[in-house]
Amino acid sequence: MNTIPYICSMLGLVALPLHAQILVDKPIELQGAVRRVEGLAPSTAPNDALTAGIAQRGPIHYATPVAATPWAVESDALGGTLANGTYLVIRVPASEDMPVAIAVNGADPLPVLHEGVPLVGTAMAEGHMLSVVYGDGAFHVLNGNHDLRRNCPSGMVAVNDLYCIEPNERGSGDYFQSGLACAAVGRRLCTWGEFIGACQRSLALQLSGMTNSWEWTNSTANEDNVGRIAGLNGCESAGTWLSTGSAPVPYRCCFSR
C-alpha cells in the first residue's frame, strides 16, 4: 500500500496537515529534487509503508522471545504467513538442552537449524543475539561458529558454561614452553581465576592434583620476567616464578567454550 500525507479542511475551518496511512491503487511517482514522501504515520503493520525512523530502529526484525520451549515471538510486522527470506534478530532467552523451535504469532513451531543441524538451546549463552532467516519451513542460523558455545574437547572437563579444564597435570616446563604446548593443541594456560574456580570444585569435577604442587597460570603477575603460580597446599595459594631459566613447573590447559 502506498501512503501520502494529505490536507483536510472541515466546516470552513483552517486547513490542517494530517498524517496517515491511506490506500492508493496506482504507483506513486516521485519527481523533483527531493523525491521522498514525508509525514508518514509510524507503523509496523505488514501492508503499511515503512518510515525511515522505524527502519532505523529495527523493531520489524528484533524480538525477545518468552523463555520457554518453543521460543514464542510476537511481531505485528510479520503478519500471518512467513515468506522465504524473513529475517529476525533474537535475544536468546534461558533455554533447555534440547532442539530450539520458534513459534511466530502463535503459529506452529518451526525448527532452527545451524549448518543443517538442529540448534540446541544451550549452544548459545542467554542474552546473546541470534540472527536467523526463514526458508522452506525452518529458521536458519546466520551467526558464525564463534557465537555458539563449543563442547569441551575429548578428555577435558566442563567447569561451567565458559571454559573447560584438563583433569590432570601435564609435564613441567617454563612459562613459555607451557603456554606453547597448550596452544599446539588448540588450548591455553588457565587464568588464575579459572584455576581457583576449578580447584574449588575439584572433587565434584574429579580433577586430580590441583593442590599437590605449584602450577602455571597465564598471569604475568604485573612483574617483569615472572609468571603467576598457584595451587600448592591450597586452591587460593599463589606465588611468582621466573618465566624461564629456573626449575620447571607443572601446568594444565584450559579451553574457552
Average of pLDDT values for 127-153? Answer: 84
Higher pLDDT pick, 222 / 170: 170
Q: Is the pLDDT of residue 216 over 90?
A: yes
Please check the confidence at residue 14 and state whether its pLDDT lies above 50. no
Highest mean pLDDT out of 38-42, 70-74, 212-216, 224-228? 212-216
Same domain (yes/no): 138, 161: no
What range defines the domain where residue 21 resides?
1-54
Q: How far apart are CA 243 and CA 228, in angstroms?
A: 9
CATH number at residue 228: 3.10.100.10
- Residue 16 reports pLDDT greater than 90: no
- Assess whether 25 and 68 both reside in one domain: no
**Residue 251, C-alpha cell as written in the block:** 601446568
- Rg over alpha carbons for the chain, rounded to the nearest Å, is 29
Examine the domain organization and report whether 231 and 175 are in the same domain. Answer: yes
**Mean pLDDT for all residues in the chain:** 81
Residue 152 counted as domain residue: no
Name the phi and psi angles at 88, rounded to 5: -135, 145
Rank 13-17, 87-91, 107-111 by mean pLDDT and report only the highest. 107-111
- 77-81 contacts, C-beta under 8 A, 24 or more apart: 77/44, 77/45, 77/46, 78/46, 78/104, 78/105, 79/46, 79/105, 80/105, 80/107
Cell numbers standing for residue 7: 490536507
Higher pLDDT, 69 or 164: 164
Whether residue 24 is found in the same domain as residue 70: no
User: Do 168 and 236 have their domain in common?
Assistant: yes
The per-residue pLDDT for range 51-61, each reduced to its tens digit, is 666 565 555 56
**Segment 107-124 mean pLDDT:** 87
One-letter amino acid at 236 equals E
Question: pLDDT, tens digit, for every residue of 156-189?
Answer: 999 998 899 999 999 999 999 999 999 999 999 9
Average pLDDT over residues 24-34: 71
Q: Among 83-97, 178-192, 237-251, name the one with the lowest average pLDDT.
A: 83-97
Name the H helices within the chain.
52-57, 175-184, 192-199, 202-205
Domain count, the chain: 3
Whether residue 98 sits in one domain with residue 70 = yes
